[in-house]
Amino acid sequence: MSRGVYPAHREADVVLRDGSTVHVRPVRPEDGPALLEFYRSLSLQARTFRFFSPAVNLEAAARRDCHVDYVNSFTLVAVAGPEQKVIGVASYVRVDTDRAEVGFAVADAYRGRGLGTILLGHLAEIAAANGINVFEAVVLPTNFDMVSVFRDSGFPVQLRVGPDEIHVTLPTSITPEAMERFERREQVATINALRNFFYPRAVAVIGASRDRNSVGGSLFRNLLDFGFEGPVYPVNINAPVVQSVVAYPTIEAVPGPVDLAVIAVPAARVAEVAGQCGRKGVRALVVISAGFAEVGEEGRARQAELLRICRAYGMRLIGPNCIGIINTDPAIRLNATFGPVPPPAGRVGFASQSGALGLAIIDYARTFDLGLSTFVSMGNKADISGNDLLNYWEADPNTDVILLYLESFGNPRKFSRIARRVGRKKPIVAVKSGRSSAGARATASHTGAILAASDVTVDALFRQSGVIRTDTLEELFEVASLLANQPLPPGRRVGIVSNAGGPAILAADACEAQGLQVPILAPETQGRLRGVLPPEASVLNPVDMTATATADHYRQAVEAVAADPGVDALIVVFLPPLRIRSEDVAAAIVEGARYANSLGKPVLSVFISSRGVPEELKRADIRVPSYAFPEGAAIALAHAVRYAEWRARPLTEPPRFEDIRQDEAAAIVARALGQGGGWLGPDETWRLLQCYGFTMVRQVLGRTPEDAARAAEELGGEVVLKAFAPGLTHKTERGAVRLGLRGPDQVREAAIEMARRLEAQGFYDLTFAVQEFVTGGVEMLAGMVHDRHFGPTIVCGAGGIFVELIKDVSVRLTPLTREDAAEMVRELKSYPLLTGFRGSAPVDVAAFEEALLRLSALAEDLPDVAELDLNPVLVRERGAVVLDARIRVEPAQPPPPLAARTPPTF
């Protein structure tokens, strides 16, 4: 058997059900002795289940499973421990064109931890990529564990019982149900792994110091002072006692078990210490030390070695280069940070990628009286990342709101999948730094240029995932204060109550600027307000009670406005006059908010000149968020409204188009890749788009001016002449487009002149396209760029030659739903042009939305399409016609393995 190239991209670190990790990789020829040792270590029953006989020739079995070609035969091994011993084997052998026989074996010590299911998922993904559509297996009737692996996998399994055996068949394609089950298993594994961080039985601080002002000294003191409910062991090779507690020279000398080790030693010693932790049986490491991937090549190598040691011992890692973790749960009280002041306890989970900002965030949480359930400084995210924390916080009964400070993404598509699921239950608020275009790659298409000029892709990711994005940390805390303490607003209609006209007008302006509505109150509400407020008060909305308003006026006005059926949320503004105490007003607002909350309506307060939350608002059982100015309240409320609307939207799947000819399109792309890839010619471009059901303008191609003249005669009527050549972009600026030509003579002369001009600019090997001249409609842009991090990204906007100047665009990530497409089009500034602007006829918006959906389907089906421009798409009264298009193909990067895809980073 000829051996193929070793598929290194199929290697992956995976997380087992108990939170530990193992390494899965394709088998190598030199693995024979290790496989033989593994097979010999199996119990008699396990060996019988795998080979149907306890007397099998194990040497031959190991030799067979090692000698594979990675296509028709494939073996995966799972390895663990510092010696990387084989603990699991999965293999297939092709038995027919699209079928293969599959077999598994898992070490007795690892059974029941989800390894068999993980191996099945990985092997199925590999088999599908190699053209194998069906797995077959023969299982002994008493092999209940193997039958359970197949049944619980999420694949649609068929069982047929025969004499003394069970025949199993299943498809290798990853169905949505199978993907959901794999992700749920990963979530369970992640939760179990993170419980070792947040709920350890014992903690060791390696590098604990007698100097309380040092990092190691502060860490150790914070754990003691915060009241950790288990033993805390100081580890210091030079000190027998640290801060009045007996210390140990190494963690291996600690007498009891240790779940969590916090490491604060010089970077050069971290790997050695991590190895000691592994031998001790530690499950979780928090590495405070800096000097890793953030400092260059040497640091990256040091970080890779640290991660290798963690993987070898099945440990999970937070950091390195972080400030630590906090869990305020009274049952554990864990403060493993070196910050000076812990945060108040509450129901907000916070993850920060920046260590320095992490300390400021904890202090800021105290200023806003925003209680945290857990805090994690992710540092370099070598292992545990934001994706893991989202999985944990979704299931954490102590967390209601999730806050993130991010500087980079590692796996944004996975983040999107997790966030969409989590956001349906708990709001996620994020600050993502880096909105500038510095470092954006150069690109030749309109679509690529638009995306490279900003971080609209991140905006699209957050919008589709239901993540609330704020521009500043202050805004993040203001939004979080609302979400953590008040119900979600049921709509956009805001009632404003104030004791001064100016602030009330500012609040109304700020609300409308954020897309909120300030409706006139119902006559019944106005009458109720006139009955309790001074005669000079305005009761329309905003409600200006005037400066003579008392605390009781506030309570009654808030209750009256909250009862109005045309109001969904309230902003209550207080400008302190001389005779009214802020404390009394705050107490009255709380009483009014109690009634409003019972109706499902949130209340926000603005205490102008009173920075922070008044004490009466803090002490109340109902917390009313307070803002320094009306604008902050309006922005926070608008974020909450948009999130509530997203959450209320029903979940839908992307549409399926039955007329798509995917195989024909894939063949076009394959031929282009075989010729080196790059920009497709006009004929290939047209044929590829027609495979996906796009309506293309009629065009005839030719190589010479005489060909162009004949094409004009064939089409008849008014035509457009275009020229294509290798490297020729932005045809209008190059003089490669002529409109409104009639007859073969005009086209011939124009083609001769066009060829002369383009050849003078260095463009040769021209192809002419003569197209029917189509008028009447609105020119729009639709495009796609396959971002190496975010995947296919769809853009739509105003089309034509000024698209990069106007930059009226909307962006989403694939796959698009019908709701996504409709939302994209309607948020454009140019949308009124489609609906009939200044007497013009409305055009077929639904046809343009369908073009976006077909573009999304193409991008999902053909990952080798790197860039695609449809500009312009002429949206007419009936239908949408593509007038010009460009497509670039290049080999796609192989996808990461299916299961954990560790390290699972943002």
Per-residue pLDDT band at 615 (split at 50, 70, 90):
confident
When pLDDT is cut at 50, 70 and 90, the band that residue 613 belongs to is: low
Which residue in 287, 473, 311 sits closest to 381, CA to CA?
Answer: 287
Q: From CA 484, how far away is CA 347, in angstroms rounded?
A: 7
pLDDT of residue 386: 92
Smallest CA-to-CA distance from 899 within 8, 146, 13, 92 is with 13
Q: Mean pLDDT lowest for which of 143-157, 408-422, 705-719?
A: 143-157
Segment among 425-429, 537-541, 650-654, 874-878 with least mean pLDDT: 650-654
Burial class from Cβ neighbours inside 10 Å (0-12, 13-18, 19+) for residue 581 reads exposed
In this prediction, residue 612 carries a pLDDT of 53
pLDDT at 903 over 50: no
Per-residue pLDDT tens digits for 289-333? 999 999 999 999 999 999 999 999 999 999 999 999 999 999 999
Is the Cβ–Cβ distance between 383 and 283 less than 8 Å? no
Q: What is the pLDDT of residue 3?
A: 66
Average pLDDT of span 209-219: 94
Q: Which residues contact 658 (CB under 8 A, 6 or more apart)?
A: none
Whole-angstrom CA distances from 337 to 145, 403, 452, 587, 711 are 44, 18, 38, 36, 75
**pLDDT value at 227 more than 60:** yes
The pLDDT assigned to 685 comes to 95
Angle at 884 between CA 882 and CA 889, to 5 degrees: 105
Does 443 have pLDDT greater than 60? no
Quote the CA–CA distance of 688 and 706 in Å, as a whole number.
27
Q: Is the pLDDT of residue 151 over 80?
A: no
Q: Give the per-residue pLDDT at 905.
A: 34
- Residue percentage of the chain with pLDDT more than 90: 69
pLDDT for 775 equals 87
Task: Compute the distance between CA of residue 835 and CA of residue 275 in angstroms, rounded to an integer.
Answer: 66
- Which band of pLDDT confidence, cut at 50, 70 and 90, is reported for residue 55? confident
Predicted confidence at residue 611, as pLDDT, reads 52
On whether the CB atoms of residues 669 and 858 are closer than 8 A, the answer is: no
Q: Is the dihedral of CA 165, 166, 167, 168 positive or negative?
A: negative
Name the 3-class secondary structure at 119: helix
Mean of the pLDDT values across residues 18-44?
A: 92
Question: In the predicted model, is pLDDT for residue 660 greater than 90?
Answer: yes
Question: Exposure string (b/e) for 690-729, b if CB count within 10 Å is 16 or more?
Answer: ebbbbbbbebbbbeebebbbbbbeebeebbbbbbbbeebe
Of 354, 257, 374, 277, give the one whose Cα is nearest residue 317.
277
Per-residue buried b or exposed e for 81-95, using 16+ beta carbons within 10 Å of the residue's own CB: eeebebbbbbbbebe
pLDDT for 442: 35
What the block records as the tokens of 836 is: 């009939």
Do residues 771 and 765 make contact, with C-beta atoms less than 8 angstroms apart? Answer: no
Provide the edge-to-edge strand list for the sheet that holds 85-94: 12-15, 21-26, 73-80, 85-94, 99-106, 134-139, 165-171, 158-162
What pLDDT digit, counting tens, does each position of 563-601 carry?
Answer: 999 999 999 999 987 678 888 999 999 999 999 999 999
Q: What is the pLDDT of residue 147?
A: 77
What pLDDT, on a 0 to 100 scale, did the predictor assign at position 28? 94
Confidence (pLDDT) at 444: 40
Cα angle 150, 155, 159; round to 5: 55
Q: How much is the mean pLDDT over the chain?
A: 89
What are 450-461's pLDDT values in tens digits? 454 457 888 899
pLDDT digits (tens, 9 = 90+) for 804-857: 556 788 999 999 999 999 999 999 999 999 998 887 889 999 999 999 999 999
- pLDDT range class, residue 2, cuts 50, 70, 90: low
Alpha carbons 387 and 402: distance in angstroms, whole number: 12
The H or E element containing residue 34 is helix 32-41
Q: Average pLDDT for residues 750-779, to the nearest whole number? A: 91
Please name the residue that has the structure tokens 């709920």.
199
Tell whether the model's pLDDT for residue 152 goes beyond 90. no
Work out the pLDDT band at 52, boundaries 50, 70, 90: confident
Classify strands 791-798 and 809-813 as parallel, antiparallel or unpaired.
Answer: antiparallel
Q: Please tell me the distance from the alpha carbon of residue 590 to that of residue 580, in angstroms, as a whole number.
A: 16
54, 622, 759 from 588: Cα distances, Å: 80, 12, 80
pLDDT in tens, 317-375: 999 999 999 999 999 999 999 988 898 999 999 999 887 788 888 888 887 888 999 99
pTM value > 0.75: yes
Band of pLDDT at residue 895, cut at 50, 70 and 90: low
pLDDT at 161: 77
Instruction: List the one residue out of 679, 179, 100 whose CA is nearest residue 443.
Output: 679
Per-residue model confidence (pLDDT) at position 469: 96
pLDDT at position 440 is: 37
> Is it the case that residue 441 has pLDDT exceeding 50?
no
At 81-131, the pLDDT tens digits run: 888 999 999 999 999 888 999 998 999 899 889 999 899 999 999 999 899
H-type alpha helices, 52-175 = 58-66, 115-129, 144-152
Least confident of 188-202, 607-621, 692-706: 607-621
More confident residue, 189 or 142: 189
Whole-angstrom distance, CA of residue 55 vs CA of residue 63? 16
What is residue 772's three-state secondary structure?
strand
